[in-house]
Amino acid sequence: MNEEKNTPTPTPKNTERDDSVVKGIFHTYRAEFRKIVWPSWETLIKHTATVVVVSLMFGAYIALMDGGFGILFRQFVNLVI
């Protein structure tokens, strides 16, 4: 028996957004964005320079420690072997 089932075709869900909800969200974002206190250009440059200098110093420290421990490890391995 080859009977076809009479199943209803699924209808697509309503995916349209309510315009008032979307406008409300953007209104809230805009209001919050206006509350941001942006730093002055001088402050931005000073803080950026500080971050770059500290990052370079920290990177140099890690490189020196890595090189030092590498030398010590090689000497220890040569001593044991």
Backbone φ and ψ for 64, nearest 5 degrees, come out as -65, -45
Q: Residue 38, Cα to own-chain centre: how many angstroms?
A: 21
Average pLDDT by stretches of 10, the chain with 81 residues: 60 60 88 92 98 98 98 91 79
Q: In whole angstroms, what is the distance from residue 43 CA to residue 81 CA?
A: 57
What is the reported pLDDT for 5?
65
Torsion of CA 22, 23, 25, 26, to 10 degrees: 120
What is the reported pLDDT for 7?
64
Q: In whole angstroms, what is the distance from residue 72 CA to residue 78 CA?
A: 10
